[in-house]
């Protein structure tokens, strides 16, 4: 069954907010066996909304729509849907009761919020358990349109608890089977070249998607149909044999989560000493819930003075080899391990760019040292020319190097 996602809001079109809803919905709908035909973002304009529905319904069975359901005048989706489906707004005591229960006496229901209880007469109303705007479900000539709030946590709740189960009940969908590999040590093109024969000989119906990010590549092997699970397992074994130790994980998770899980399992602690990454590694690690169990802190020693005063890097090493050197990252790692009293340490120093490079040390040169229980490994990398990409790539590579050291 084919589906489309339509997000509504001028704030999306002008870049005021980032549309994360459509990516999340696409992932969940794909897992549920639906084929996402397209995604569109449109403005708060009644004619555009109606024209988009007519156009998209010509290609799909289901439209998932978010946005424009708030209590203010610029929220026009509900009224526009009434015009499109030839119905009218009627007051729902059930919706009002749901809103009052959400407020639970903490505040009064004002007139604008009370207006949220007006819903299209000819639709199925699904109560919003975490917000005031109800969800409306329209069955139309064998097709379905679902209108949901644009607030991400409200949309996610109703999608998981109401919309996807109802759609699966209404439509006969095939299971989407997938296996995700996190692969290190290859560029996207390098990995594609290495496994080209494997990819060329995949059985009909199978697909292999490359999902690159700086310093790491995710592979997604997929096929539709529960009856093909045995075939999927067979292809997984072949890919495991090809890639060997280059496979860092067989779960779809960011490197920082994977590293954190290993640290937690082994009862280890970690600290970072960051120069060119400016604390980005610490930011990534602490973005994972529960990171306080294994992460003790970071010393962002951006200036040489900070390296000397906080990490006790020797002035002699800085003068002789420069801040971007094996000698300095070795001392940085030792210094942060001692200062924070941790089992594991990551130290990074490099030239992120766009300037600061030399003939001997061009932009993108990064030294990374990882330390585990008194042993240190320092490696030099050449990242690239672009600052943001260099910072992200250095962060990912540093965490992968730390992970590999722990696994050894």
Write down the pLDDT at residue 112. 80
> Residue 393 has which token pair?
């790539």
Please give the helix or strand (H or E) that residue 46 lies within, else none. helix 46-57
Whether 391 and 275 have beta carbons less than 8 Å apart is answered as no
In the CATH hierarchy, which fold is given to the domain comprising 255-407? Maf protein (3.90.950)
Q: Is 40 helix (H, G, I), strand (E, B) or coil?
A: strand
Contacts for 291-295: CB closer than 8 Å, 24+ residues apart: 291/260, 293/264, 294/260, 294/263, 294/264, 294/268, 294/269, 294/270, 295/260, 295/263, 295/269, 295/270, 295/271
41-50 pLDDT, tens digit per residue, is: 999 999 999 9
Q: What whole-number percentage of the chain has pLDDT above 90?
A: 85
Considering only CA atoms, which of 222, 85, 57, 212 is closest in space to residue 143?
Answer: 57
Q: Is the pLDDT of residue 229 over 90?
A: yes
Considering only CA atoms, which of 321, 326, 302, 299 is closest in space to residue 310?
Answer: 299
Write down the pLDDT at residue 380. 97
Whether 166 and 124 have beta carbons less than 8 Å apart is answered as no
Alpha helices (H) along 244-360: 255-266, 280-286, 304-311, 315-321, 326-340
Sort residue 179 into left (φ over 0), alpha (ψ -120 to 50) or beta.
beta
Whether 377 and 406 have beta carbons less than 8 Å apart is answered as no
> Residue 404 has which token pair?
């590999």
Residue range 49-69: average pLDDT?
Answer: 96
CA distances from 76 to 46, 73, 98, 274 (A): 7, 7, 22, 49
Whether 270 and 256 have beta carbons less than 8 Å apart is answered as no
Whether 408 and 401 have beta carbons less than 8 Å apart is answered as no
Q: Is the pLDDT of residue 343 over 90?
A: yes
How far is it, in rounded angstroms, from Cα 403 to Cα 258?
Answer: 8
Please report how many Cα atoms fall inside a 13 Å half-sphere around the Cα of residue 348, on the Cβ side.
Answer: 35
For 68-185, strand residue ranges (E) read 89-91, 118-120, 124-126, 135-140, 143-148, 176-183
> 270-274 and 247-249 as β-strands: parallel, antiparallel, unpaired?
unpaired
Q: Is 268 helix (H, G, I), strand (E, B) or coil?
A: coil
- Which residues are CB-neighbours of 119 under 8 A, at least 6 positions away? 78, 89, 90, 92, 95, 125, 134, 136
Whether 127 and 92 have beta carbons less than 8 Å apart is answered as no
Write down the pLDDT at residue 187. 85
140-194 pLDDT, tens digit per residue, is: 999 999 999 999 999 999 999 999 999 999 998 888 899 999 998 888 999 999 9
The domain 2-170 having CATH identifier 3.40.50.960: the answer here is: no
DSSP state of 279: T
Considering only CA atoms, which of 143, 144, 174, 177 is closest in space to residue 162?
Answer: 144
Residue range 215-239: average pLDDT?
Answer: 94
| 373 phi/psi in degrees, rounded to 5 | 50, 50
Alpha helices (H) along 127-221: 152-158, 164-170, 188-194, 196-200
Please give the helix or strand (H or E) that residue 382 lies within, else none. strand 375-382
DSSP state of 354: S
- Number of other residues whose CB lies within 10 A of the CB of residue 106: 6
- Number of other residues whose CB lies within 10 A of the CB of residue 244: 7
Domain boundaries, the chain: 2-170, 176-249, 255-407
- Confidence band, pLDDT 50/70/90 cuts, at residue 106: low
Considering only CA atoms, which of 185, 196, 176, 189 is closest in space to residue 239?
Answer: 196
Assigned architecture for domain 176-249: 2-Layer Sandwich (3.30)
Q: What whole-number percentage of the chain has pLDDT above 70?
A: 99
Find tokens 């946590």 and name the residue.
153
> 270-274 and 344-350 as β-strands: parallel, antiparallel, unpaired?
parallel
Residue range 360-378: average pLDDT?
Answer: 96
302-339 pLDDT, tens digit per residue, is: 999 999 999 999 999 999 999 999 999 999 999 999 99
Residue range 388-398: average pLDDT?
Answer: 94
Question: pTM for the full model?
Answer: 0.74
- Confidence band, pLDDT 50/70/90 cuts, at residue 101: confident
> 344-350 and 365-372 as β-strands: parallel, antiparallel, unpaired?
antiparallel
Whether 261 and 294 have beta carbons less than 8 Å apart is answered as no
């Amino acid at each position: 069954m084919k589906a489309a996602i339509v997000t509504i809001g001028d704030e999306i079109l002008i870049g005021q907010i980032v549309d994360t809803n459509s990516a999340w919905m696409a992932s969940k709908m794909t897992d549920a066996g639906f084929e996402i035909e397209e995604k569109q973002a449109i403005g708060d304009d009644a004619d555009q909304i109606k024209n988009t529905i007519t156009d998209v319904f010509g290609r799909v069975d289901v439209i998932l729509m978010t946005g424009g359901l708030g209590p203010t005048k610029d929220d026009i989706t509900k009224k526009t849907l009434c015009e499109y489906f030839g119905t009218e707004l009627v007051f729902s005591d059930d919706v009002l009761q749901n809103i009052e229960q959400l407020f639970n006496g903490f505040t009064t229901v004002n007139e604008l919020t009370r207006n949220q209880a007006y819903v299209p007469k000819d639709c199925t109303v699904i109560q919003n358990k975490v917000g005031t705007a109800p969800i409306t479900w329209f069955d139309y000539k064998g097709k379905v349109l679902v209108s949901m709030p644009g607030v991400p946590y409200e949309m996610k709740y109703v999608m998981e608890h109401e919309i996807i189960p109802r759609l699966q009940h209404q439509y006969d969908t095939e299971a989407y089977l997938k296996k995700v590999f996190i692969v290190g040590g290859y560029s996207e093109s390098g990995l594609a070249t290495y496994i080209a024969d494997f990819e060329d000989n995949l059985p009909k119906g199978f697909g292999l998607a490359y999902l690159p990010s700086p310093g790491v590549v995710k592979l997604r092997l997929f096929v539709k149909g529960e009856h093909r699970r045995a075939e999927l397992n067979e292809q997984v074994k072949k890919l495991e044999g090809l890639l060997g130790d280059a496979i860092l994980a067989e779960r779809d998770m960011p490197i920082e989560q994977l590293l954190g899980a290993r640290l937690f399992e082994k009862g280890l602690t970690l600290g970072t000493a960051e120069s060119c990454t400016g604390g980005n590694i610490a930011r990534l690690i602490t973005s994972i819930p529960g990171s306080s169990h294994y992460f003790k802190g970071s010393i962002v020693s951006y200036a040489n003075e900070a390296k000397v005063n906080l990490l006790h890097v020797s002035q002699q090493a800085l003068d002789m080899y420069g801040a971007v050197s094996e000698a300095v990252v070795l001392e940085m790692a030792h210094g942060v391990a001692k200062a924070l009293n941790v089992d594991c340490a990551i130290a990074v120093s490099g030239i992120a760019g766009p300037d600061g490079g030399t003939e001997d040390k061009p932009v993108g040169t990064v030294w990374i040292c990882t330390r585990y229980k008194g042993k240190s490994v320092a490696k030099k990398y050449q990242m690239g020319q672009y600052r943001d990409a260099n910072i992200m790539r250095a962060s990912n590579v540093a965490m992968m190097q730390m992970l590999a050291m722990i696994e050894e």
